Amino acid sequence: MSRIRTILAFLFSVVVFGAVAVVAAVSLGLLAMPLASSWPGWWGRACLWIAGVEVEFTGLEHLRGPGTRVLVANHTSALDVPLVAALAPRAPLCLAKKELQWFPGFNLMWWSHGQVFVDRRDPARAAASLADVVARCEASPRTIILAPEGTRSRDGSLRRFKLGAFRLAVATGSPIVPVVVLGAGKLMPPGQWFTGPGRVEVRVMPPVDTAGWTEGELRARASALEADYRRFLEG
């Protein structure tokens, strides 16, 4: 039964991704931002419901209010995508690894909504992508979403945080909003194509003010937040 529900959730996602991409393209991009701010929330919740995943959200008030913010979340499962989408932050601007540009439906939606693929293997291109994100946030406040670990953990343990999220926060003068996902890796670990029914907890933590941070202290700041995550995940 769990395999059937996972397949249905996947097919549902492909249809939704394709549909919103077509609408965004037909509108010549005029509906890209309104769509990006509205449909991910209901898609994420519906996808999780179809897959039989029950989710408890806490701290959603920390994603409300004006201004740009950098949302960071630990990454252990493919379920993290609908889980973070279900938070429905305002004006999301998501960063994903370049390899996902070959994922059917998802790639069309990503491009049509002006989201960002990052080439992690090419430092120059990665830096250009981050500069593009900063320019977009200067034009209009956004909620930047990315995984500080850079890629999905293969064994469920927290990986060392990279500095991209912290540099973006400093460059945009924005707070960092930590999001802790608990239990997703057990339901659908890397290498497993199907999720079993179960419960996941998503905690949105209070924003971390980055005012006054300098480049030289970013590694220490990243290590401190990483330590906080370890305490949350182990406690």
**Which pLDDT score is estimated for 106?**
65
**Cα angle 193-196-202, degrees, rounded to a multiple of 5:** 100
> Of 138, 145, 158, nearest to 63 (Cα)?
145
**Residue 228 pLDDT greater than 70, yes or no:** yes
**Which pLDDT score is estimated for 150?**
81
Sign of the C-alpha dihedral, residues 153, 126, 131, 38? negative
pLDDT in tens, 145-202: 889 998 887 777 899 999 989 999 999 999 999 999 999 989 998 888 888 889 999 9
State the Cα–Cα distance between residues 145 and 129, nearest whole angstrom.
14
Q: What is the side-by-side strand order in the sheet with 53-58?
A: 53-58, 198-204, 176-182, 69-73, 143-146, 92-97, 116-118
61-77: average pLDDT: 91
93-97: average pLDDT: 75
Residue that is written with structure tokens 């034009």 in the block: 139
**Which pLDDT score is estimated for 183?**
92
**Which pLDDT score is estimated for 100?**
65
Whether CATH 3.40.1130.10 fits 2-234: yes
Instruction: Read off the DSSP letter of residue 160.
Output: P
Give the β-pairing of 198-204 and 176-182.
antiparallel
pLDDT in tens, 113-138: 666 777 777 778 777 777 888 888 88
178 or 81, greater pLDDT: 178
**Which pLDDT score is estimated for 189?**
85
Residue count (the chain): 235
Q: At what angle do helices 164-172 and 123-139 cross, to 10 degrees?
A: 30
State the Cα–Cα distance between residues 78 and 128, nearest whole angstrom.
27
pLDDT in tens, 20-55: 778 777 877 666 677 667 788 888 999 999 999 999
**Residue 141 CB: number of other CB atoms within 10 A?**
17
Terminal-to-terminal C-alpha distance of the chain: 32
**Residue 57 pLDDT greater than 90, yes or no:** yes
Residue 103: which pLDDT band, with cuts at 50, 70 and 90? low
Residue 83: which pLDDT band, with cuts at 50, 70 and 90? very high
**Residue 99 pLDDT greater than 70, yes or no:** no
